[in-house]
Structure 1
Amino acid sequence: MEKTKIRNNYIETETFQEIGFFGDVKKEQWPNFVQAVQNNIRYSRREARNISFSLYQPEDGRLQPIWFERFKDKAGHNYHKEQGYFKNAISVIQQSLKGEARSISLLLVDRLRAITAKAADYPNNSRHVIVLFDVKPGKRAAFIDAMAAAASFSRGAHGNLEFNLYAYADDPNKFVLIEGWQTVADHEVQLKQDHIKRLNSALEGLFASNRMETRWIVKDISQ
């Protein structure tokens, strides 16, 4: 059964979103891996229930890609998994990985509703930042308040493509932040802004683990 919420007197179906970590890809399989995943993304984006689908690679060149996908509902994701291009991609992925991929199902955060990411003018020049947060028990509300206060500034900043926060489906105290910027320079300018300084100050003492150890600076290789 789809998860639903009553909002403004109508029933809203919870969108489906998932972030995944492929781990290490075999060097000799990298071209085939990228081609297969890009093909899956290209066709997936045409599906009526798809909202977004992206593939990222760390800027330092490590062959440790990350995927992120959103669908209007779980049924849309189930339909996606029945398609031939998805099954073909899975076959290539299984041959390409050194280990096992892992995925995290995510939910929207009420105080900071996700917006659809804008497309970069030149994806090869864009920068994306992915951060996993493990928030201490009792600090969830303070964390969301701090992120919501920063979101409006970041979303309105020059070159911003997205600033979206999601919660783990199986742990309300764990979150994923995905930022997107048109260029590296746009992101670096953002880091110097007062609202980011206020955010960093507000986040002090809220985490059960070091968020810098679960932070990736990546480039979009979806196409």
Structure 2
Amino acid sequence: MKKPLIKTLVCIGLLIGSHHFINAQEQESFQKLVKLPVREAAYDSYLALMRINIEQSRKEDGNISFTLFGKDGDYTVYLLERFKNKAAWEEHKKSVYARSTDAISPAATMHLSEETILKEIPEIPAADTEIVIPEENTKNIITWFTVQPTATTAFIEAMSKAIPKARETEENLGYNIYQNAEDPNKFIVIERWRNPEVYQNYLQSEYSKKLNQDVEGLLTKEAKLKREVLKNISE
């Protein structure tokens, strides 16, 4: 009699665990950063199509934000997509405008696009970014970090002290950190500032200098800090 009872209890436990896992997935936001090295000849038409995709995607209930970054004299762009959960992103991919962009992307980017799935860090959840018009003078920085496997907790702690202070700065438009969903030792920080002068003032702040000192000893020896200074070209 005991064996059937044990099997029943095990099945119930598995069902409960599965429910919690699915529920956690439904509640977890979904982020993706895509690097798109666009061919010069295809750049204008691709940008026009991408902007339609952005405009329509932002209207979706499941979308949090949809932002395209680029820079003068360079045809490589970065697309940051944020959705309330993965199901919302999968529903977005069924739309005509998303499918149209996906269809032209391989040819426009010479099959050289790179995708990175990102996840929020519970200690420093992502905050909404401010949209300003016009965007020409804003300062947008994407920084990639590779942290020593034993230093991820210390890295997150250092960031959790500095990021709230940066967000409190009047001219800060957004400051978010994400963890690579496939490699927990890799992080991406995306900063947005109203203009270059404000950003320079931030770099001179005591907490920014302290952050640089704290982070320096936590990165892998092989890692070279990668940073891109971009502009918002979503509109």
Q: Aligned pair 1:31/2:44, yes or no?
A: yes
Q: Aligned pair 1:114/2:126, yes or no?
A: yes
Q: Aligned pair 1:96/2:134, yes or no?
A: no
Residue of 210, 215, 220 corresponding to 1:198: 210
Instruction: Note the alpha carbon deviations across 1:62-86, whole angstroms, 9 max, x for none.
Output: 1110110100011110111000011
Number of equivalenced pairs: 214
Question: Which structure 2 residue ranges, 5 or more long, are not aligned?
Answer: 1-20
Larger Rg: 2
- Within 5 Å, give how 1:47-58 maps onto structure 2: 47-58=60-71
SS in 1 for 2:179: strand
Q: Which residue number in structure 1 is paired with residue 33 of structure 2?
A: 19
Provide the rounded CA distance (Å) in 2 between the counterparts of 1:191 and 1:2: 42
| Conserved 8 A contact 1:120-1:181 | no
Provide the TM-score with structure 1 as the length reference: 0.91
SS in 2 for 1:115: coil
Instruction: Note the alpha carbon deviations across 1:46-74, whole angstroms, 9 max, x for none.
Output: 0010000000013x521110110100011
Q: Which moved more, 1:169-178 or 1:201-210?
A: 201-210
Shift of 1:96: 1.2
Higher helix share: 2
Instruction: Note the alpha carbon deviations across 1:111-146, whole angstroms, 9 max, x for none.
Output: 111111111242222111101111001101110111
Instruction: Note the alpha carbon deviations across 1:144-188, whole angstroms, 9 max, x for none.
Output: 111111111110113111111111111111111011111122212
SS in 1 for 2:75: coil
Provide the rounded CA distance (Å) in 2 between the counterparts of 1:95 and 1:184: 35
Q: Which residue number in structure 1 is paired with residue 55 of structure 2?
A: 42
Q: Which residue number in structure 2 is paired with residue 134 of structure 1?
A: 146
- Within 5 Å, give how 1:174-193 maps onto structure 2: 174-193=186-205
Residue of 143, 148, 158 corresponding to 1:146: 158
Q: Which residue number in structure 2 is paired with residue 9 of structure 1?
A: none
Q: Which residue number in structure 2 is paired with residue 8 of structure 1?
A: none
Provide the TM-score with structure 2 as the length reference: 0.86
Provide the rounded CA distance (Å) in 1 between the counterparts of 2:22 and 2:128: 21
Q: Which moved more, 1:46-55 or 1:87-96?
A: 87-96
Shift of 1:87: 1.1
Q: Which aligned segments of 4 or more residues in structure 1 are displaced greater than 6 angstroms?
A: none
Q: Which moved more, 1:191-200 or 1:95-104?
A: 95-104
Q: Which moved more, 1:12-21 or 1:143-152?
A: 12-21
Residue of 18, 24, 31 corresponding to 1:4: 24
SS in 2 for 1:171: coil
Partner amino acid for 1:202?
D
Identity across matched positions, percent: 30
Provide the rounded CA distance (Å) in 1 between the counterparts of 2:182 and 2:104: 29
Partner amino acid for 2:41?
E
Shift of 1:211: 4.3
Partner amino acid for 1:31?
D
